[in-house]
Amino acid sequence: MAEQGLKKWIITFTVITASLLELIDTTIVNVALPQIQGNLGATLEDVAWLSTGYAVANVIVLPMSGWLGSRFGRKNYFLTSIILFTIASFLCGNATSLGELVMFRILQGIAGGGLISTAQAILIETWPREDIGIATALFGLGAVVGPTVGPTIGGYILDISSWPWIFYVNIPVGILAAYCTYTYIKKTPRDGQGQPVDWWGIALLAIAVGSLQTVLEKGESEDWFSTPYITVLAVTSVFGLLLFIWREMSTDHPIVNFKIMRHRSFSIGMFTSFILGFGLYGSVFVFPVFCQNLLGFSPLQTGELLFPGGLCTIVMMPFIGIFLKKGIPAQFMASMGMFLFFVFCSMLSKSTLASGTGDFFLPLIIRGIGMALLFVPLTTLAIQDLKGAEVGQGSGLNNMMRQLGGSFGIAALTTLIHTRQGFHRSNLLTNINDYNPAFTTRFNAYISNFVAKGYNLLDAKAMAIRAIDGTVTKQALLLTYSDAYWVVGLILLCSIPLVFLQKFKKNVEIPADVH
């Protein structure tokens, strides 16, 4: 039964706030890693497990969230997740060693996995059927904007305080969300009571998805399959996934209902959600690295650059919901979103070493509009045929695929940057010879400049060589980041035909999850 009036908006605010807690924490900790590393005396490789542990725990719980909500009651599960996340945030802020901090971050990830999909299912149940597009748009505010503004918020907090406060800020928000959940969200029946627990399914899911996420998070830094444990985890993830699917298809009480894959729109939607994650997280990963490593921007400057685009997404989201309600096909809007994302990537691929903050305003605004046009229509298309308890299950799988798409995107782009940098550097070095007039002119200019500053000729030549080498390195990086932007843009552009394989419906009414 849909809610009305003020209560509907309080519930909407509550679930969006709770989901923002989880989504912001996905990226906010990244800007604090160097400070945590110095404070706790850890290596960069060790401190990276703060992100890896959180992501692994999160992606394991996501596909189980529909089953957990059904078994324990959605309100109970959602409230427990908020309280556990808030407690884990307090414990993270009070951690005195890296081991403690990693353990509490894993606890955060477990709780966070129960927030996203459950929040979306509650929102779908709260709004009238004819307004589901608007509800999905409002939920998309957190899902799209959270990872974007996380680094900005983290940068501000670190500027005025220390790293524990990136966790402490969650506490008042968590308390408010818990109170509103307890007071305003209605209880749902515990449909899973009395049914046996599929422990084998839970174990195989944890092994398969946990191994895959760890491979994606650590593969590049460990040189992929040259490291034995990465190879073992990769093989484990493949066999674990096959066994998990077989188990869930053969048991009477699965924790993940793969039978919902019979809906063509949902099956295709799983893949388009993967692509959405690739574009969302991949671009958020590449752009800050490009700005900070090559252009010399600070983390705070980079975060401020991303903010207007995020604001644009916020403004656009409600309008997308209204367009869906008026009968504009979701396929058309998703296609336009993918095209705009390609335009954004194309514009950034033309960046130079002289690019300033003003050069990125328009491309990031275009990205913001594109993300609004992508998230709501793709989610709507994916779950348009689901009914009853399938909504909770489908929401969990859909969010997991978006998260995995982001992990694949970051892993693939990190590897691309590593390999293409060497390729471009080798090509550029072929121009460093005495027969190239451009090189000799630049080289002699450097020498003259250093001699004019008082250095002797021998030292001036050595310094000129280092200056040329620095220029080559920067140009190689510039070409590499251009390649990365093109890869992201072309993947989104080539995915447009997929959305037209999904069912066309006017005035899409996503059935509320009645369980």
Of the candidate ranges 79-83, 92-96, 129-133, 168-172, the one whose mean pLDDT is the lowest: 129-133
Distance (Å, rounded) from C-alpha 96 to C-alpha 83? Answer: 22
205 plus 273 within the same structural domain:
no
Is the pLDDT at 159 greater than 60? The verdict is: yes
366 plus 451 within the same structural domain:
no
Distance (Å, rounded) from C-alpha 293 to C-alpha 263? Answer: 45
440 plus 327 within the same structural domain:
no
How far, CA to CA in Å, does 259 sit from each of 74, 263, 386, 392, 394? 21, 8, 11, 13, 10
Domain boundary residue, one of 208, 226, 254: 254
How far, CA to CA in Å, does 186 sit from each of 69, 76, 177, 241? 13, 10, 14, 36
- Which has more confidence, 435 or 481? 481
244 plus 203 within the same structural domain:
yes
127 plus 105 within the same structural domain:
yes
Q: DSSP letter string over 50-87?
A: HHHHHHHHHHHHGGGHHHHHHHH-HHHHHHHHHHHHHH
Distance (Å, rounded) from C-alpha 110 to C-alpha 115? Answer: 9
Q: What would the two tokens of residue 257 be?
A: 């209902």
For residue 106, which of 30, 28, 51 has the smallest C-alpha distance? 51
- Which has more confidence, 419 or 46? 419
Indicate the SS3 state at residue 504. coil
Cβ of 490: how many Cβ atoms within 10 Å?
13
**Chain-centroid distance, C-alpha 247:** 29
Q: Which residue range(s) make up the domain with 447?
A: 423-478
Domain boundary residue, one of 135, 161, 190: 190
176 plus 222 within the same structural domain:
no
Q: Where are the alpha helices (DSSP H) in 127-227?
A: 132-160, 165-168, 170-184, 199-218
Q: What is the DSSP letter of 419?
A: H
- Write out pLDDT tens, residues 5-14: 677 788 878 8
Residues 147/284, Cβ–Cβ less than 8 Å: yes
372 plus 472 within the same structural domain:
no
Determine the residue type at 344.
F
Distance (Å, rounded) from C-alpha 374 to C-alpha 270? Answer: 14
How far, CA to CA in Å, does 286 sit from each of 292, 306, 351, 418? 10, 12, 13, 12
Residues 207/215, Cβ–Cβ less than 8 Å: no
209 plus 293 within the same structural domain:
no
Is the pLDDT at 359 greater than 70? The verdict is: yes
For residue 397, which of 249, 269, 515 has the smallest C-alpha distance? 269
- Write out pLDDT tens, residues 436-447: 787 787 777 877
In degrees rounded to 5, what are phi and psi of residue 504?
A: -85, 130
Q: What would the two tokens of residue 40 be?
A: 């706790």
The domain that contains 115 carries what CATH number? Answer: 1.20.1250.20
Sequence-separated (6 or more) residues with CB below 8 Å from residue 5 = none
286 plus 403 within the same structural domain:
yes
38 plus 57 within the same structural domain:
yes
Residue with tokens 């501000």: 156
Residues 92/39, Cβ–Cβ less than 8 Å: no
- pLDDT at position 515 is 30
Angle at 115 between CA 113 and CA 117, to 5 degrees: 80
Residues 364/306, Cβ–Cβ less than 8 Å: yes
Residues 197/31, Cβ–Cβ less than 8 Å: no
510 plus 390 within the same structural domain:
yes
In degrees rounded to 5, what are phi and psi of residue 195?
A: -85, 150
How far, CA to CA in Å, does 362 sit from each of 160, 279, 299, 308, 315? 30, 18, 20, 10, 16
Mean pLDDT in residue range 176-197: 74
Residues 132/510, Cβ–Cβ less than 8 Å: yes
- Write out pLDDT tens, residues 243-296: 888 887 777 777 777 777 777 777 888 888 888 888 777 777 777 777 777 777
* Band of residue 136 on the pLDDT scale cut at 50, 70, 90: low
- Write out pLDDT tens, residues 54-99: 877 877 787 777 777 777 777 888 888 899 999 998 998 888 888 8
How far, CA to CA in Å, does 385 sit from each of 67, 116, 382, 486, 512? 19, 20, 8, 34, 11
Domain boundary residue, one of 190, 210, 231: 190
Of the candidate ranges 315-319, 394-398, 447-451, the one whose mean pLDDT is the lowest: 394-398
472 plus 417 within the same structural domain:
no
- Write out pLDDT tens, residues 219-256: 766 667 777 888 888 888 888 888 888 887 777 777 77
Torsion of CA 250, 251, 252, 253, to 10 degrees: -140
Angle between helices 390-429 and 132-160 (to 10 degrees): 50
For the chain, what is the domain count? 4
